[in-house]
């Protein structure tokens, strides 16, 4: 039972044998009437860090996405999330 996730961001997510499988990212802040956390929890999978480690630790500048592409991508993801919530 989870009652409080404040400050968990950046912490490890482990499988049942203790292997690091992700990094705690964020929540939607949901709580039920009895104080037990009942919202969604988002975690970044650790293999994504491994795959991109050189880029994450590099001094090279990060590629900037065109504003229009960024806007269209965000709109598409927002629509997809809305559709997924309806189908739950």
To the nearest whole percent, how much of the chain has pLDDT over 70?
Answer: 73
pLDDT (mean) for 58-70: 85
Q: Could you give the CA distance from residue 16 to residue 14 in angstroms, rounded to a whole number?
A: 7
Tell me the whole-structure pTM to 2 decimals.
0.42
Count of residues in the chain = 88
In the chain the beta strands, taken as DSSP E runs, fall at 12-14, 20-27, 41-45
**Mean predicted confidence (pLDDT) in 26-37:** 66
What residues contact 23, with CB distance under 8 A and at least 6 apart?
10, 11, 12, 13, 43, 44, 46, 49
pLDDT of residue 71: 92
């Amino acid at each position: 039972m989870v009652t409080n996730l404040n400050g968990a961001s950046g912490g490890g997510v482990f499988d049942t044998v203790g292997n690091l499988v992700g990094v705690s990212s964020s929540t939607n802040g949901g709580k039920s009437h009895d104080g037990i956390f009942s919202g969604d929890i988002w975690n970044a999978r650790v293999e994504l860090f491994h795959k991109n480690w050189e880029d994450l630790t590099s001094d090279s500048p990060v590629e900037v996405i065109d504003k229009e592409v960024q806007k269209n991508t965000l709109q598409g993801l927002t629509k997809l999330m809305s559709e997924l919530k309806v189908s739950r």
